[in-house]
Amino acid sequence: MKHGLLYTLGLIVLVMVAFVTSPVEAQTTAPGPYYATPSWDQQLPAATRFIVLSNWGGAAVLDRETGLVWEKSPSTSTKNWNIAQCYCNTLAVGNRMGWRLPTIQELTSLVDPSVPSPGPTLPAGHPFSNVQSSFYWSATTNADLSILAAWGVYFSNGLVMMDVLSLFNCVWCVRGGQGVGSQ
């Protein structure tokens, strides 16, 4: 009896050690679930950073660094800031709603500053399409100028700037994350 108990405990320990030491691999080709533990403290190569979500008909991309889900192919039409907000809030991608304009920090998380102009300044090997080398709106307004201007990113060179809300610029919607406030 004592020998059988020790043998069983030994097997349990072996299984636990094997489980803990076995590498965990990212799921990149099979249908979800896609567990997106944000890794803002890590730099992942594009080959493992971005996962095209097959459960979403391939229309959305999970960014494993941030945990955000991006449109794979943002619209190429331009919109003023108010229309851009409405556009994202009513958008259905991969048969899912719940989209929004990204914060300026979320939008700049896609920028690879080592990519030369004319861009787009995205990491090599990214899965996105239709990204223009243009200014993209963020949902982040300046606290002092919130009725006049919002922050955005020029994907031609990675510059972060403000633009007048009434001007027409590109829109790239995101899902998940924290939302926005004035800054």
Q: What is the distance between the alpha carbons of residues 169 and 166, in angstroms, rounded to a whole number?
A: 9
More confident residue, 44 or 97: 97
Q: What is the distance between the alpha carbons of residues 56 and 33, in angstroms, rounded to a whole number?
A: 11
Region 45-175: CATH code: 3.10.100
What are the pLDDT digits (tens) for 45-92? Answer: 888 899 999 999 999 999 999 999 999 999 999 999 999 999 999 999
- pTM value? 0.78
Most confident of 25-34, 95-104, 137-146: 95-104
Mean pLDDT, the chain, as a whole number?
A: 82
DSSP-assigned letter for residue 169: B
CB 130 within 8 A of CB 73: yes
Return the pLDDT at 5: 44
